[in-house]
Amino acid sequence: MSICKLDLRNGRVDLSHGAGGRAMGQLIEGIFHKAFDNDWLRAGNDQSAFAVPAGRLVMTTDGYVVSPLFFPGGNIGSLAVHGTINDIAMAGAWPLYLSAGFIIEEGFPLADLDRIAETMGAASREAGVPIITGDTKVVERGKADGVFICTSGVGIVPAGLDLRSDAARPGDAVIVSGSIGDHGVAVMSKRENLEFDTNIVSDSAALHGLVAAMIEVAGSSIRLMRDPTRGGLAAILNEIASASKIGLRLDEAAIPIKPEVAAACEFLGLDPLNVANEGKLVVLVAPEVADALLAVMRTHPLGAEAALIGHAEVSDHCFVQMATSFGGGRIIDWLSGEQLPRIC
Q: What is the largest CA-CA distance in the chain?
A: 68
Residue among 41, 62, 42, 66 nearest 134 (CA)? 41
> Would you say 84 and 61 are in contact if contact means Cβ atoms under 8 Å apart?
yes
Minimum Å distance from CB 105 to a second copy?
9
Q: Which is nearer to a second copy, 145 or 251 (CB)?
A: 145
CA dihedral sign of residues 218, 224, 227, 231: negative
Q: Which residues contact 214 (CB under 8 A, 6 or more apart)?
A: 222, 225, 283, 293, 296, 297, 303
Minimum Å distance from CB 314 to a second copy?
21
Q: Which is nearer to a second copy, 247 or 294 (CB)?
A: 247
> Would you say 129 and 96 are in contact if contact means Cβ atoms under 8 Å apart?
yes
**Distance in angstroms (rounded) separating the CA atoms of residues 81 and 79:** 6
Q: Which is nearer to a second copy, 73 or 134 (CB)?
A: 134
Minimum Å distance from CB 85 to a second copy?
11
Q: Which is nearer to a second copy, 48 or 220 (CB)?
A: 48
Side-chain half-sphere exposure of 307, counting CA atoms within 13 A: 14
Minimum Å distance from CB 281 to a second copy?
11
Q: Which is nearer to a second copy, 25 or 109 (CB)?
A: 25
Minimum Å distance from CB 232 to a second copy?
8
Which 8-state DSSP code applies to residue 33? I
CA dihedral sign of residues 105, 110, 78, 57: positive
Q: Which is nearer to a second copy, 49 or 197 (CB)?
A: 49
> Would you say 148 and 103 are in contact if contact means Cβ atoms under 8 Å apart?
yes
Residue among 262, 282, 246 nearest 169 (CA)? 246
Q: Which is nearer to a second copy, 161 or 308 (CB)?
A: 161
Minimum Å distance from CB 197 to a second copy?
26
Residue among 174, 178, 165 nearest 323 (CA)? 174
> Would you say 273 and 332 are in contact if contact means Cβ atoms under 8 Å apart?
yes
Minimum Å distance from CB 298 to a second copy?
25
Q: Which is nearer to a second copy, 67 or 221 (CB)?
A: 67
Minimum Å distance from CB 60 to a second copy?
4
